């Protein structure tokens, strides 16, 4: 029996012991516990003490208007659901027990007008007041640099407000709030086939992960399964996306270390992956490949062609990887930079390679394998050191595992007779979670449907989760480490601020 | 370090020879949607497009606005007789109307500003580009960054990225303009020295893209005068290069079309 299933049974026993009577039947086997609003924070603290990781807090409209707090708990998504009465304007803040909920609660307040009582920082998150931090009068020994939103280089808009005495980073505040496009509201009223186009454009570098998480949420809500072949091709698309993202991080780190040939080599490898993806589905980002119910079109490359490409790609990659890790002028800049400890990451509910680099073996593909992942084998790569180097090592290890996963999926595809790639969706109502392990970390969609159209979507994005960790990782680091640390996190502002 | 040099030399030259030679097309790549038959279309055809890029005039003529098209293929799937994908990359145009296919282009608009080629002439062979993200989904940044990789190597054409808008000749803008980015964008443009050009990079920058009413001002041309529109979601590096060369006056649109 897979460990995921065993822990799910433990979870069920624990929940039945502690929350008897509160458990509602939930779609996809993920428990939802119904509680009064006043008890939400204590229940959240109890779950967290048992090792549950906070995912998000948001307002759901199905089955009734409620405040939902979602957790990753022993192979399930466990949600606490508190019905909201008409006049409800506040609730006890979860952040007091779960520091990782701070940003989600600030967003919730901006969006829904629900005030988390006792929250330590209630400044607006979606439309920030541009004053504030810069105006703070320092003691004459230090000064404050507002770095961004237009920064030096080809970067997405974000602002880092750095307090420094000249070299040391004394304090840092990050504001990923310049790109708010209101995308979650944009889903409402669209058919699932159209809404997935919006999902693909929430965070462009994680297009496939967003498309899969959204599609699987729709499929769970409507109780449809994607055909086996479509599930396997989804793995191929998702893992190619991960490889491209991790190569991008390696390339940017080489650039920070002024390793010109390294930048060129990893730039070539990344470009090769993007071109392969264009040949596979017409888009360098995997757009238009995945649709709720399965795939949009038959992939343009046969498994054998992909196998040959992989063999050549890996030969080049292995050489560049070996050389990169042997270049002391490069590794010296990463070792010890942006160090995080395990406690901090657990406290702030970190996800993805950032969490795996402090030894936390968390990966949605393993904890709650969805689609074809349940039938494929791979290793969750972790490291212990918690610094920028450890994060790079995790990524390089994950590229290896991704190629392994793609090969397994291709082998299975080769043995399958061609079938249809998509199942029809009924025009029914329903609500469910869907998830994917994006290159940045666990991505969760809550999706509600009514009459064949999407009525509500909430996205829990890995970039938003991990941004507080980026801030927490500056302990004794200097300004020249800044770009190394930032790139080692590999986050995307578009994912954080939808 | 020697090992890196050996590694760098080991591979044959991968750099594109564009624009001296056409870039080989990637089979299956969705570069643009072509309207192969624009006559006598039913009005319902407009409904096929999720972003409102397709318009059917009262006489049944179809037009497709590439500045709104996200290359999703809904029209190609619904009416393959009328629409098809092409792998072309020379999709940029100097007028907003120039990326609308199926309608005659209004050339008089051109005369409103000093022709771009004329303004850019003193800058040829050494153009400095400042990129500004005003609300993209992040994919455009990857494609813009790719212009410096060995495949595209835009430095060979005298194009360079610069860190400050004060040193820039071209402002390359990605994303629909969010409310928070409107003012920073305007300020970046104001400090650029004359002559200067603005490129809207990507469908979002051309027309605003997916966004909730009120969060995004719209395309870049709602805030600044735009000289070149590069459609695409996101535009490929080679399409961006075409747009940059148009802006630099190195390529003329007439020669490309």
CB contact under 8 A, B137 and A278: no
Subunit contact B142:A201, Cβ cutoff 8 A: no
Phi-psi region of A119 (alpha: psi -120 to 50; beta: other; left: phi over 0): beta
**Domain A3-117 falls in which CATH fold?**
Beta Polymerase; domain 2 (3.30.460)
Distance CA B181, CA A128 (A): 12
The string of DSSP letters for A127-174 reads S--S-SGGG----SS-EEEEE-SS-SSS--S-EEEEEESSSBEEEEEE
Residues of B in contact with A438 (CB under 8 A): none
CB spacing of A150 vs B163 below 8 angstroms: no
Residues of B in contact with A149 (CB under 8 A): 133, 180-181, 184
Give chain B's domain count.
Answer: 1
pTM: 0.91
Task: Name the residue facing A178 among B29, B137, B178 (closest C-beta).
Answer: B178
Strands (E), A279-374: 290-291, 294-295
Contact check, Cβ <8 Å, B137/A320: no
**CATH C-level class of A204-455:** mainly alpha
**Which structural domain range is residue B162 located in?**
111-256
The answer to whether the CB of B161 falls within 8 A of the CB of B131 is yes
Report the C-alpha gap between A99 and A295 in whole angstroms: 39
| B169 Cα distance to chain centroid | 17
- Backbone CA torsion sign across A343, A349, A350, A351: positive
Q: Cβ contact (<8 Å) for B149 and A271?
A: yes
Nearest-angstrom CA–CA distance, A428 and A451: 5
Q: Please name the residue that has the structure tokens 């148009």.
A: B246
Contact A128 B163 (CB under 8 A): no
Is A25 at the interface with chain B, CB within 8 A? Answer: no
Q: How many whole angstroms separate alpha carbon A422 and alpha carbon A168?
A: 55
CB atoms within 10 A of CB B93: 25
Q: What is the pLDDT of residue A248?
A: 95
Axis crossing angle, helix A303-326 with helix A260-281, rounded to the nearest 10 = 170
Whose tokens are 């640099």? That residue is A145
Q: Which 94-123 residues of chain A touch chain B by CB within 8 A? A: none
For chain A, the average pLDDT equals: 87
Give A125-158 pLDDT, tens digit per residue.
776 665 544 555 556 677 777 887 888 888 888 8
| d(CA B164, nearest CA chain A) in Å | 7
Residues A211, A201: Cα–Cα separation, whole Å? 9
- A157 close contact with B: CB closer than 8 A: yes
A89 Rama sector, left if φ>0, alpha if ψ -120 to 50, beta otherwise = alpha
> Which residues make beta-bridge pairs with A58?
A68
Return residue ranges of chain A for CATH 3.30.460.80: 3-117
Q: Number of C-alpha atoms within 13 angstroms, CB side, residue A41? A: 17
B210 part of a folded domain: yes
CATH of the domain at B242: 3.40.50.12280
Question: C-alpha angle B31/B37/B43, rounded to 5°?
Answer: 105
Task: Let me know if B211 is exposed, middle or buried by CB neighbors in 10 A (0-12, 13-18, 19+).
Answer: buried
Contact A180, A127 (CB under 8 A): yes
Count of A-B CB contacts under 8 Å: 182
Count other Cβ atoms within 10 Å, centred on residue B239.
Answer: 24
pLDDT at position B95 is 75
Is B244 inside any structural domain? Answer: yes
Per-residue pLDDT of chain A (498 residues; tens, 9 = 90+): 345 555 666 777 777 777 776 777 655 567 888 888 888 888 888 888 888 899 999 999 888 889 999 999 888 888 888 888 877 888 888 888 898 888 888 888 888 888 888 888 887 777 666 554 455 555 667 777 788 788 888 888 888 888 887 788 888 888 878 888 888 888 999 999 999 999 999 999 999 999 999 999 999 999 899 999 999 999 999 999 999 999 999 999 999 988 888 899 999 999 999 999 999 999 999 999 999 999 998 898 999 999 999 999 999 999 999 999 999 999 999 998 889 999 999 999 999 999 999 999 899 899 888 889 999 989 999 999 999 999 999 999 999 999 999 999 999 999 988 888 998 888 888 899 999 999 999 999 999 999 889 999 999 999 988 988 988 888 778 888 888 888 999 888 888 888
Using CA atoms, how far apart are residues A295 and A394, in angstroms rounded to an integer?
A: 30
**C-beta atoms of A326 and B133 within 8 A:** no
- CB atoms B212 and A185 under 8 Å: yes
Most A CBs within 10 A among B137, B165, B185, B189, hence the mutation to make, goes to: B137
The predicted structure's pLDDT at residue A211: 95
How many whole angstroms separate alpha carbon A126 and alpha carbon A111? 8
> Are B73 and A153 a contacting pair at CB < 8 A?
no
Q: Which residues of A touch B213 (CB under 8 A)?
A: 182
Residue B103 CB contacts under 8 Å (≥ 6 apart), including other chains = B61, B63, B97
Residue of A nearest to B153 (CA): A264
To which residue do tokens 């051309």 refer? B206
Closest CA to A455 of A435, A432, A434: A432
Q: Assess A37–B contact: CB distance below 8 Å, yes or no.
A: no
pLDDT greater than 60 at residue B102:
no
Name the 3-class secondary structure at A471.
helix
* Chain A: closest CA distance from residue B128 (Å): 13
Task: State pLDDT tens for residues B77-89.
Answer: 888 888 888 888 7
Q: What pLDDT does residue A269 have?
A: 94
CA atoms within 13 A on the CB side of B176: 28
Q: Where in chain A is the domain with CATH 1.10.645.10?
A: 204-455
Three-class DSSP category at B35: strand
Position B50 in a domain: no
pLDDT one-digit tens code per residue, B24-67: 888 888 888 888 888 888 888 888 999 988 988 888 888 888 88
* B107 has pLDDT over 50: no
Q: Is residue B26 part of a domain?
A: no
For the four alpha carbons of A181, A183, A185 and A189, in that order, the dihedral sign comes to: positive
A453-460 sheet: strands from edge to edge: A430-438, A441-450, A453-460
| pLDDT for position A154 | 85
């Amino acid at each position: 029996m897979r460990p995921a299933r065993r822990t799910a049974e433990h979870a069920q026993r624990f929940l039945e012991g502690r929350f008897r009577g509160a458990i509602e039947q939930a779609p996809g086997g993920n428990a939802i516990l119904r509680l009064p609003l006043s008890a939400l924070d204590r229940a959240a603290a109890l779950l967290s003490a048992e090792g549950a990781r906070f995912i998000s807090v948001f307002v759901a409209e199905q089955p009734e208007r409620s405040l939902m707090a979602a957790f990753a708990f022993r192979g399930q998504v466990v949600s606490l659901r508190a019905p909201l009465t008409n006049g409800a304007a506040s609730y006890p803040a979860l952040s007091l027990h779960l520091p990782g909920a701070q940003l989600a609660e600030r967003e919730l307040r901006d969006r829904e007008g629900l005030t988390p009582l006792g929250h330590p920082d209630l400044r607006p998150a979606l439309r920030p007041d541009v004053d504030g931090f810069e105006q703070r009068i320092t003691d004459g020994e230090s000064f404050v640099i507002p770095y961004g939103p237009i920064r030096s280089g080809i970067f997405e808009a974000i602002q880092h407000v750095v307090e420094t005495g000249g070299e040391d980073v004394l304090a840092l505040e990050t504001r990923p709030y310049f790109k708010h496009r209101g995308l979650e509201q944009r889903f409402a009223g669209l058919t699932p086939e159209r809404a997935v186009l919006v999902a693909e454009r929430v965070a462009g570098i994680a297009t496939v992960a967003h498309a899969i998480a959204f599609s699987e949420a729709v499929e769970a809500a409507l109780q449809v399964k994607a055909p086996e072949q479509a599930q396997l091709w989804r793995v191929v698309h998702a893992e190619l996306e991960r490889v491209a993202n991790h190569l991008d991080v390696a390339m940017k780190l080489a650039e920070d270390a002024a390793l010109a040939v390294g930048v060129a080599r990893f730039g070539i490898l990344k470009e090769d992956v993007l071109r392969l993806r264009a040949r596979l589905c017409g888009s360098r980002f995997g757009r238009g490949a995945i649709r709720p119910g399965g795939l949009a079109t038959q992939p343009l490359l046969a498994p054998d062609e992909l196998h040959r490409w992989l063999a050549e790609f890996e030969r080049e990659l292995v050489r560049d990887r070996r050389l990169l890790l042997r270049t002391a002028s490069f590794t010296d800049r990463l070792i010890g930079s942006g160090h995080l400890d395990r406690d901090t990451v657990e406290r702030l509910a970190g996800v993805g390679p950032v969490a795996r680099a402090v030894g936390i073996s968390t990966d949605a593909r393993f904890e709650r394998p969805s689609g074809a992942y349940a039938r494929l084998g791979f290793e969750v790569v972790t490291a212990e050191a918690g610094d920028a180097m450890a994060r790079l090592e995790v990524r390089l290890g994950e590229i290896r595992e991704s190629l392994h996963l793609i090969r397994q999926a291709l082998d299975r595809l080769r043995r399958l007779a061609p079938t249809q790639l998509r199942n029809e969706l009924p025009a029914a109502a329903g609500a469910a979670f869907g998830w994917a392990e994006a290159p940045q970390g666990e991505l969760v969609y809550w999706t509600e449907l009514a009459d064949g159209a999407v009525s509500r979507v909430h996205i829990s994005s890995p970039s938003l989760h991990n941004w507080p960790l980026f801030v927490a990782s500056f302990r004794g680091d200097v300004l020249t480490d800044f770009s190394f640390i930032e790139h080692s996190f590999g986050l995307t502002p578009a994912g954080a601020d939808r | 370090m020697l090992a890196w040099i050996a590694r760098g030399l080991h591979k044959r030259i991968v750099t594109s020879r564009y624009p001296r030679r056409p870039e080989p097309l990637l089979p299956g790549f969705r570069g643009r949607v072509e309207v192969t038959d624009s006559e006598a279309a039913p009005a319902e055809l407009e409904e096929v497009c999720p972003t409102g890029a397709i318009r059917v005039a009262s006489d049944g003529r179809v037009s497709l606005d590439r500045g709104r098209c996200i290359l999703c293929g809904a029209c190609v799937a619904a009416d393959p007789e009328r629409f098809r994908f092409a792998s072309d990359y020379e999709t940029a145009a100097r007028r907003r109307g120039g990326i609308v296919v199926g309608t005659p282009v209004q050339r008089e608009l051109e005369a409103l500003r000093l022709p771009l080629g004329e303004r850019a002439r003193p800058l040829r062979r050494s153009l400095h580009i400042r990129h500004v993200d005003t609300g993209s989904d992040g994919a455009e940044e990857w494609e813009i960054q790719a212009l410096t990789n060995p495949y595209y190597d835009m430095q060979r054409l005298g194009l360079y990225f610069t860190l400050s808008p004060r040193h820039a000749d071209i402002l390359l803008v990605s994303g629909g303009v969010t409310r928070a980015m409107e003012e920073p964008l305007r300020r970046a443009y104001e400090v650029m020295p004359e002559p200067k050009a603005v490129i809207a990079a990507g469908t979002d920058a051309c027309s605003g893209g997916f966004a909730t009413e009120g969060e995004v001002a719209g395309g870049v041309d709602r805030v600044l005068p735009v000289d070149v529109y590069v459609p695409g979601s996101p535009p490929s590096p080679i399409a961006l290069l075409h747009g940059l060369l148009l802006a630099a006056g190195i390529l003329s649109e007439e020669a490309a079309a």
